[in-house]
Structure 1
Amino acid sequence: MDTRRTAALMVAAAVLVNVAFTGLGAVFDYPDVLKQPADDVLAAFRADQFAVTAGFLALALGAAMLAPVAVGVGRLSDSRAMRWSVPVGIAAAVVQVVGLLRWPLLVPGWAATAAGADPAAAAAARQAFGTANRVLGTLIGETGGYVFTAVWTGLVLAALGAAFAGRLFVVLGAVSAVLILAGVLSPLDLPLVDTANFVAYILWSGWLVVFAVVLVVRRRRTDGQVEIGSVDAGSAVR
């Protein structure tokens, strides 16, 4: 995959995730809704099931894009840090997709059962929903996503350094990575952790867009140098 496609995926992922997250916040009060009792969450899901499902599918697609992005970025350097970054980036995509896909694949059934007339089945559905939130959501999707995304960003920065796009590029990526990593503390309900995590992903999305712009600019410069070299070589032959 060439740098232009990698850059396009970076921008697409950043835009898609932020649009989907904003939409879910508007129709589903996500992620604050997850702090409500299971009955309330499932009822809210049923109230706007199509929109909520579409939002989580979009989030999952945006998260999945990190896998090919990691592969494309991995070709920018042959350092050990960059070699490690590829599987870490793919892992970041996988755990987030696994966590997010519970909403379109599993939650519709639980929501329907929880609203049914069978009390025992409804209680079992609520329990299954709670277990999935803890295991697929908090443990795998969120905690795994925070750790792997932060580590991937750090490895990429270590491999490319300030020489790639300047000190600001490194600072922006490093700050966003640290704040993303702080998201592992979210289950402890510590003050400002959720706010820091929200800011982290905004900064990280901006870093991805900057990264994409740098890739395109560097590619154009390289293509321009190749064209100039070809013209000079042709003049020398003549």
Structure 2
Amino acid sequence: MSASVAAAWLLIMLPIAFNAAFAALAVKFDYPDILRRPTEEILERFRTGGSGLVLIWWAFAMTAVLFAPLAVLVSGALPRADATLLAVGTAVGVLAAAVQFLGLIRWPFLVPYLARAAAEPDATPTRKEAIDVVFQAFNRYLGVAVGEHLGFLLTGAWSILVGAAVIQDAHLPVWLGVAGIVIGGVLAVCSLEFVGPFERTGWKLAATLTPTTYIVWSLWLVATGITLLVL
């Protein structure tokens, strides 16, 4: 199988898997709205979800891992683009995969422990306060800072670089490249939701843009994959 064909299938299947996992979390865990509720309620809902919910979170994290080979294969599928541009795009894509994985992997491994500890009959108020601090600290650091901020920023940068490479390669339609650049730019804006003056409550514009932008980004990936297969 050539790099182009492998990239095409990953471009099609990965966003489908990503969105399927996200939809499952929305149904089973009320994600991401649940994150705006108190820690005790979040952990109780997590316990209610059982091992099935843990597996969904694990699958969601694995979609981030698969983004790394996708970034490598996409660069290989655009051989006529500038080599430096492709190398930078590959590096940025792999970094995007890494930070998104780090942002998600706490859910199937750390959060189950916190949920169990919070439900222990002898859990004192002090222990519950400590659990709350740990949960919120990991949520702000790995979830918001690493997974969302760096994840959105690097994914946006990768999309811009791929868009530029598509235009240079001249094998795929130019509009796909332009779309990647535009979508990547919007993703970069979305990464600023909790930066600077928005750290406490978030930037409403970015919060509004993010869900739609990720859907459009997913459609762009699928369209790029289908086009690679057809041409």
TM-score (norm: length of structure 2): 0.88
Q: CA deviation at 1:2?
A: 2.0
Change (3 A) 1:166 1:2: closer
For residues 81-136 of structure 1, the C-alpha deviation after alignment (integer angstroms, 9 at most, x for no partner) is 11100111000001111110100010000111112222132222221111110111
Match of residue 222 from structure 2: 209
Match of residue 113 from structure 1: 117
Give the counterpart of 1:160 among 163, 166, 172: 166
The 2-side partners of 1:113 and 1:38 are apart by 13
Q: CA deviation at 1:11?
A: 1.4
AA aligned to 2:204 is P
The 1-side partners of 2:210 and 2:185 are apart by 9
AA aligned to 2:159 is T
> Matched residues, percent identical?
33
Write the mapping of 1:61-140 to structure 2, written as runs, cut at 5 A.
Answer: 61-75=62-76, 76-77=78-79, 79=82, 80-116=84-120, 117-119=122-124, 120-140=126-146
The 1-side partners of 2:217 and 2:88 are apart by 20
Q: CA deviation at 1:172?
A: 2.5
Match of residue 198 from structure 1: 211
Contact 2:89 2:161 in 1 (8 A): yes
Higher relative helix content: 1
Question: SS where residue 191 of structure 2 aligns?
Answer: helix
Match of residue 49 from structure 1: 50
TM-score (norm: length of structure 1): 0.86
Which 4+ residue blocks in structure 1 deviate beyond 6 angstroms? none
Contact 2:163 2:179 in 1 (8 A): no
The 1-side partners of 2:12 and 2:146 are apart by 25
Contact 1:172 1:203 in 2 (8 A): no
AA aligned to 1:211 is T
Give the counterpart of 1:143 among 105, 126, 149: 149
Contact 1:12 1:62 in 2 (8 A): no
Structure 1 residues without counterparts, runs of 5 or longer: 219-238
AA aligned to 2:140 is R
Give the counterpart of 1:182 among 184, 189, 192: 189
The 1-side partners of 2:34 and 2:205 are apart by 17
Question: SS where residue 164 of structure 1 aligns?
Answer: coil
* Most deviating of 154-163 and 2-11: 154-163
Contact 2:162 2:177 in 1 (8 A): no
Match of residue 236 from structure 1: none
Q: How large is the RMSD of aligned CA atoms in angstroms?
A: 1.6
For residues 132-169 of structure 1, the C-alpha deviation after alignment (integer angstroms, 9 at most, x for no partner) is 10111111111111011000111111122173322431
